Structure 1
Amino acid sequence: MTRILVTGGSGFIGRTLCGHLQILGVDVVPVVRRVSGMPGEQIVARLGTALDAVLVGCDAVVHLAGDAQAPRGGTTADLEVFRSAQVGLACGWAQAAAAAGVRRFVFVSSAKVNGEWTADGQAFSSDDTPGPQDIYAQSKWDAEQALCRIATETGLELVIVRPPMVYGPGGRGNFAALVAAVCRGVPLPFGAVRNHRSMIAVTNLVDFLALCADPAASPGAAGRVFLVSDGQPVATPELLKRIAQAYGCKARLLPVPPAFMVTVARLLGRRQVADRLLGSLVLDDSLARDLLGWKPVVTMDEQLRVMANAAGV
């Protein structure tokens, strides 16, 4: 039986991945920082000798652990501590995995490594020169480079996955805030937005991660960088309408000029949030489809309906 260790096992993506792997008949080792009640969980509060014991017999590691965003308003020193901690955590697990004889290491990075936006008609690909714009994206890019060095030195099979915004039951952050606003009937100023955003349902992401974590099923994944998505970019107004349909309510969209919203967001220090809602970010995920034969297992509408059902709607 295949044995896969998942760091960050109690997180949004981690819990879903562990459940998916168990359904596939995989022996899963969820690693958590504190007791969470997950079956078979191993508590690793910090890097150390405990890694050797939890890695025994593992065929692959999927590394999800880490902070989802850098601290707001942090000093330069604070941000450097954040960056170093993120990189150190990934490298610590990779080095321990290589020493324990683990064959494959799947690192879940971020599409933000490529950049924050794409021009009309353009899409980021795995071969593009990275362009991280904030400390979180920079930490992911730094970790990717450090992991590549470890893989070269040790023979560890490294697979890097850069997903865009992930949504699904139990998710938090900006997507959850949008859902809450739509369900409350809050008027949203996005009716005039004409952008394109790639996203990925958590069900699709964990399906792809499970494939990458199985060396026998994905021999061509070793040493590759993959961008993955649901396949069809969606404009912010269309996304809000789909959320409303899934939750049985109506999206109240106001046609506010995007340029005005960008100006206001800049004055309020929320430019990055505005970029995500107003700008385009499209991914070319053809490498995942062509090389590994992967395709999404659910549509956006299906995942949104699952979210609504989980919320009791």
Structure 2
Amino acid sequence: MQIAVSGANGFVGRALCRVLLDAGHGVTALVRRPSSVAKGVSELVIPDDHFASIARGNPAIGPIDAFVHLAARVHVMQDGAADPLAEYRAVNVKGTLDAASAAFQAGARRFVFVSSVKALGEGEPGRPWREDDEPAPTDPYGISKFEAEQALLAFGQKHGMEVAVVRPPLVYGPGVRANFLGLMRAIARGVPLPIGSVDARRSMVYVDNLADALRALATASRPVHGVYHATDDDDLTVAGMARAIGVALGRPARLIPVPVGLLRGLGSVTGKVAQVDRLTSPLRMSAVRLHEELGWTPPWTVAQGLAATAHAFYAEQTQ
């Protein structure tokens, strides 16, 4: 198959291009600026932020069989935009629909959209989120992702194009950034962490597992449509995650068992209520549809994913 990938030079995009190439598919990488993509990938520079140019057919991206849309305005912890929701909508809703229009014009029969657990909300309904649960996003990023999901599904129904929405939880792997990288650095340096009593379980997905799930959806021989979840199928507690990272790094995590109630109280005093709530609250997802409909299971275990992440982390430190 010939598959177009937007955001192909990003964290997940690089992994996806590699997985698709290894499976024998042709890849057209859509990027905003020239970059070093994997050998065998055809690079196409898109000159605008919201994919309006390819929606107009210039440059043309076809013919293609499927389009995997990864490009997005990602979650920003401290957003300085005057109207954050409008900024997210411009990229994550309008830009996504422009990409879908381009895919349709290029002959794609399937559009795979990478959304986020944030489209569901911040917490969980007392159990792992299921694909058929009613979303309740609370922040501009999550709202824009959910709106994009709805707009895409309507677009697919109107034009007869399959639309598969994938909601990943926390994604980790070689090259990971943000909070996960900060946690790795702290554990590697032996910094004491006050999360020894945090037993909330959080779903995660190794970047190569997510890439393989996207490959399975993009290239499935049977029709795919609607919402899918992709996880490692091994939900660790926050403390367990830190310990597992320590094992992978070869540096035991130094965890202090501070009561969760005290952590939340400190969050109130320091103005970090939202951050502490995310840290101490469970957020799990089930990936039933991928398993039952496509027979997909994660090819990598959490231990293997963390080992690869740790190896890349140390390699980066020595550069």
Fold in common (TM above 0.5): yes
Q: CA deviation at 1:54?
A: 4.2
Q: How does 1:155-166 map to 2 (within 5 A)?
A: 155-166=160-171
Query: Secondary structure in 1 aligned to 2:239?
Result: helix
Given that residues 119 and 280 in structure 1 are in contact (C-alpha distance below 8 angstroms), is that contact kept between their aligned partners in structure 2?
Answer: no
Which of 80, 96, 102 aligns to 1:90? It is 96
2:2 corresponds to: 3
- Once residues 285 and 235 of structure 1 are traced to their aligned partners in structure 2, the CA distance between those partners, rounded to angstroms, is 18
Given that residues 228 and 289 in structure 2 are in contact (C-alpha distance below 8 angstroms), is that contact kept between their aligned partners in structure 1?
Answer: yes
Using a 3 Å threshold, how does the CA distance of structure 1 residues 50 and 96 change in structure 2: closer, same or farther? closer
Given that residues 70 and 79 in structure 1 are in contact (C-alpha distance below 8 angstroms), is that contact kept between their aligned partners in structure 2?
Answer: no
The amino acid across from 2:202 in the alignment is R
2:264 corresponds to: 262
1:199 corresponds to: 204
Q: Residue by residue, what CA displacement relative to the aligned partner does 1:65-124 show, whole Å, maximum 9, x if unpaired?
A: 01211462445524322223321110100012112221100000011211211255x111
Is it true that 1:167 corresponds to 2:166 in the alignment? no
Using a 3 Å threshold, how does the CA distance of structure 1 residues 113 and 49 change in structure 2: closer, same or farther? closer
Is it true that 1:62 corresponds to 2:68 in the alignment? yes
1:25 corresponds to: 24
- Once residues 288 and 52 of structure 2 are traced to their aligned partners in structure 1, the CA distance between those partners, rounded to angstroms, is 39
How many pairs were matched up?
Answer: 308
Q: Residue by residue, what CA displacement relative to the aligned partner does 1:4-36 show, whole Å, maximum 9, x if unpaired?
A: 110000100000101111111111111111122
Identity within the alignment, %: 37
Q: Residue by residue, what CA displacement relative to the aligned partner does 1:244-288 show, whole Å, maximum 9, x if unpaired?
A: 111110101011111222232244343332233211011121121
2:181 corresponds to: 176
Q: Which moved more, 1:294-303 or 1:40-49?
A: 40-49
The amino acid across from 1:282 in the alignment is R
Using a 3 Å threshold, how does the CA distance of structure 1 residues 14 and 188 change in structure 2: closer, same or farther? same
- Once residues 289 and 7 of structure 1 are traced to their aligned partners in structure 2, the CA distance between those partners, rounded to angstroms, is 26
Using a 3 Å threshold, how does the CA distance of structure 1 residues 73 and 93 change in structure 2: closer, same or farther? closer
Q: How does 1:274-293 map to 2 (within 5 A)?
A: 274-293=276-295
Which of 245, 257, 276 aligns to 1:243? It is 245
Given that residues 71 and 79 in structure 1 are in contact (C-alpha distance below 8 angstroms), is that contact kept between their aligned partners in structure 2?
Answer: no
The amino acid across from 1:273 in the alignment is Q
Q: Which moved more, 1:157-166 or 1:284-293?
A: 284-293
Given that residues 83 and 139 in structure 1 are in contact (C-alpha distance below 8 angstroms), is that contact kept between their aligned partners in structure 2?
Answer: yes
Q: CA deviation at 1:203?
A: 1.1
Using a 3 Å threshold, how does the CA distance of structure 1 residues 288 and 249 change in structure 2: closer, same or farther? same
Which of 112, 120, 133 aligns to 1:114? It is 120
The amino acid across from 1:207 in the alignment is D
Q: CA deviation at 1:50?
A: 4.2
The answer for unaligned runs of 5 or more in structure 2 is none
TM-score by length of 1: 0.93
Across the aligned residues of Structure 1 and Structure 2, the Cα RMSD in angstroms comes to 1.7
- Once residues 71 and 85 of structure 1 are traced to their aligned partners in structure 2, the CA distance between those partners, rounded to angstroms, is 17
1:101 corresponds to: 107
Q: CA deviation at 1:213?
A: 0.5
- Once residues 149 and 210 of structure 1 are traced to their aligned partners in structure 2, the CA distance between those partners, rounded to angstroms, is 23
Given that residues 81 and 87 in structure 2 are in contact (C-alpha distance below 8 angstroms), is that contact kept between their aligned partners in structure 1?
Answer: no
Q: Residue by residue, what CA displacement relative to the aligned partner does 1:218-238 show, whole Å, maximum 9, x if unpaired?
A: x242x2201121112110111
- Once residues 296 and 263 of structure 2 are traced to their aligned partners in structure 1, the CA distance between those partners, rounded to angstroms, is 38
Given that residues 55 and 102 in structure 1 are in contact (C-alpha distance below 8 angstroms), is that contact kept between their aligned partners in structure 2?
Answer: no
The amino acid across from 2:47 in the alignment is A
- Once residues 19 and 187 of structure 1 are traced to their aligned partners in structure 2, the CA distance between those partners, rounded to angstroms, is 37
2:135 corresponds to: 130
Is it true that 1:294 corresponds to 2:296 in the alignment? yes
The amino acid across from 2:32 in the alignment is R
- Once residues 193 and 78 of structure 1 are traced to their aligned partners in structure 2, the CA distance between those partners, rounded to angstroms, is 31
The amino acid across from 2:207 in the alignment is V
The amino acid across from 1:172 in the alignment is R
TM-score by length of 2: 0.92
Which of 203, 210, 224 aligns to 2:226? It is 224
